Every structure is written in C-alpha cells, then in structure tokens.
Structure 1
Amino acid sequence: MNVLIVYGTTEGQTRKVAEHVAKDVSDRGHAVEVLDAAESDANVDLNDFQAVVLAGSVHQEQHQKAVKNFATAHSEQLDSCPSAFISVSLSAALEETRPEAQRYVDQFVELTGWQPRMTLLLGGAVRFTEYDYFQEQVVKFIVMKRGLAAEDGGDREFTDWSALDAFVDEFLERAAS
C-alpha cells in the first residue's frame, strides 16, 4: 500500500509525529511519502496513494492554515480513501481538557468539509529553550493553568507514542481491508 502523510507543524513536534508514523508504516512494508503542508505541492495527486494521514498541531485554538487548506482542497479525495487525522495539542495531554481538544477537531472538520475515518487526539510538547521571552511567558501561563508544568521549567514532551503506534496499527489494518 502507498501511504501519504501530510503534516503541519509550528514548533516541530507534529513533524516528529509524522516521521514516527512514516517509520511505523514503512516498517510494516508499505511505501510512504511525507509532505509538509506548508511546503508541499498543493497539486499532489492523491490518486497515487491508497491511504492518507493528515497531522496538524493546535496553536491559539486552531490548526495550521496550511493543514486546513490542504484538507479543504482535497476533501473529496480524502473522503473517498482511507484517511485519518492526528490532532496534536496540549489540550489532548490531560483527560479533563480532552473535550477542548475534540472541539478543535470538530471545528476543523466543519471548516474543511473532510470527514476523516479515524482521528487521534495526541499530546504535544513545550520547548521553552526555543521560545523568546514573550512566547515563554504565554506558554508557561497555559502550561501552569493546565497543571502540566515541568518541575525544572525545561522542555517537556506529552506525546503518547504507544497510543500513536496503536493508532497506526489500527489505521493500516482498516485501510488494508
């Protein structure tokens, strides 16, 4: 099976997620192509792929514009093949804020018109070492408000890699049938 993975990232965690998915897909004997939605050719022919995974991160309560544009432009083709959406956010990291993370996905689906066959809410990461002073203050406020603060104030990853692996397994199983 030939699988396309399209991602949008702001701080790099969703790229890391997309690369992890690509390795899982490849390790299972499938061909895989990975595209950054911000850099990819909008005219990619989805007919060349038997399955598509789209991954985007949430910032300021929205997924990246490039990811929304890709899903909107290709919604009919995405609906006609096995397709999945991975939404990466800090809201997905805690059980009590998962409804908020689901709202972001619901808004994305409503806006783009694409109905992914599978979705995964996946925790993201904070990278204080990469933020300027103002970004750091905003992220610290959000992280502390949600009870996700690292004890040392350093970078922290909230991605559940085991959940991602299980998601990829299920997606590939469904796509093959």
Structure 2
Amino acid sequence: MNLLIVYGTTEGQTRKVAERMATDIRGRGHRVELLDSAKFTPDLKLGHFDAFVIAASVHQEHHQEAVTTFVFAHHDLLSGKPSALVSVSLSAALEGHGAAARKYVDHFVSLTGWQPRMTLLLGGALRFTKYDYFQEQFVKFVVMKGEDPGPEQDHEFTDWNALAGFTDRFLATVG
C-alpha cells in the first residue's frame, strides 16, 4: 500500500507526529511519503496513493491555512479514498477541554466538506524555550486560561500510544 501523510505544523510537533506515523507505517511494510502542506503546489499528482492522512495543528482555534487549502484542492481524491485526520492541539490534552478540540475538527470538516474515515484528537506541545515574552503570555493567559503549565520549559502532551493505536486501526480499515 502507498500512503501520503500531509502535515501542517507551526512549532514542529505535528511534523514529529507525522514522522512517527510514517515510521510505524513503514515498519508494517507499506510505502509512505510525507508532505509539508506549506510546500504544497497545485500541480502535485496524487492519484498513485492508496490512502491519505492529514495531520494538522490547531492555533487560535483553526487548523493551518495551508492544510485547509490542500484539502480544498484535493477534496474529491480525499473523499474517494481512505483518509484520516489527526488534529493536534493543546485542547485535546487538557482536562475539560475535549469539547473545544472536537469543535475545531467539526469546524474544519464543515468548512472543507471533507469527511475523513477516522479522526484522532491528539495533544500537542508547549515550546516555552522558543517563545518570546508576548507568545509566552498569550499561551499562559489565553491558551491555558490561567492554568499553570508548570515551569517555563517545553512540555509535550502527545500520547504516542494513542497515535500508534490510531495508526493500526486506520491501516486495518484500509487494507
């Protein structure tokens, strides 16, 4: 089987998620290619892929514009073949914020009209070591809504076991 993982990332965590999925899929004997949605070109030929995974992070309640553009451009192909969405957000990891994470996916699906076969809400990461003062304050008081994220160091909330299980289930539905 030949799969394409298209990802959109802002701080690198979703790229890490896509790379982990690709490694797991290759380990099961399948071919997989990764595509950064920021490098998407409209003339890209995708018909030779058997299945697709779209992995996108959420910032300010929306998935990346480049991912949205990719899904719009290839809506018919994504709808006609097995496809899945991995939505990476802090809301997916924070207790009591699961409804917000689901709302981001519902909005994305409504906006694009694409109905992925499977969806995973996956926790992202905080990269305090890369934030300037204003980004740090935004994360603390808007994203975390005053909750203390702990020491101002990087925090990874991604559940790698949940990702591996999702990958297994998706591969089972494909082939």
**TM-score normalised to structure 2 length:** 0.96
Q: Equivalent residue of 1:85, what SS? A: strand
Report the counterpart of residue 8 of structure 1 in structure 2: 8
Report the counterpart of residue 170 of structure 1 in structure 2: 169
| Distance 1:135-1:90 versus aligned 2 partners, 3 A rule | same
* Whole-angstrom CA distance in 2 between matches of 1:55 and 1:43: 21
* Whole-angstrom CA distance in 2 between matches of 1:92 and 1:164: 13
The answer on 1:154 being equivalent to 2:153 is yes
| Distance 1:130-1:117 versus aligned 2 partners, 3 A rule | same
Report the counterpart of residue 139 of structure 1 in structure 2: 139
| Distance 1:143-1:156 versus aligned 2 partners, 3 A rule | farther
Q: Which amino acid aligns with 1:163?
A: A
Q: Equivalent residue of 2:5, what SS? A: strand
| Distance 1:121-1:85 versus aligned 2 partners, 3 A rule | same
Q: What aligned pairs does 1:1-177 form with structure 2 within 5 A after superposition?
A: 1-142=1-142, 144-145=144-145, 147=147, 149-150=149-150, 152-176=151-175
* Whole-angstrom CA distance in 1 between matches of 2:90 and 2:148: 9
Cα offset, 1:140, TM superposition: 1.7
* Whole-angstrom CA distance in 1 between matches of 2:146 and 2:34: 32
* Superposition CA RMSD, Å: 1.3
Q: Where in structure 1 are there 5+ consecutive unaligned residues?
A: none
Q: Equivalent residue of 1:38, what SS? A: helix
Q: Which amino acid aligns with 1:155?
A: D
Q: Which amino acid aligns with 1:15?
A: R
* Whole-angstrom CA distance in 2 between matches of 1:156 and 1:148: 12
Q: Out of 33-42 and 113-122, give the one that drifted further.
A: 33-42
Q: Which amino acid aligns with 1:67?
A: V
4+ long deviations beyond 4 Å: none
> % of aligned pairs identical?
61
**Preserved contact between residue 54 and residue 85 of structure 1 (Cα < 8 Å):** yes
| Distance 1:115-1:148 versus aligned 2 partners, 3 A rule | farther
The total of aligned residue pairs comes to 175
**Preserved contact between residue 40 and residue 70 of structure 2 (Cα < 8 Å):** no
Q: Which amino acid aligns with 1:159?
A: T
| Distance 1:111-1:130 versus aligned 2 partners, 3 A rule | same
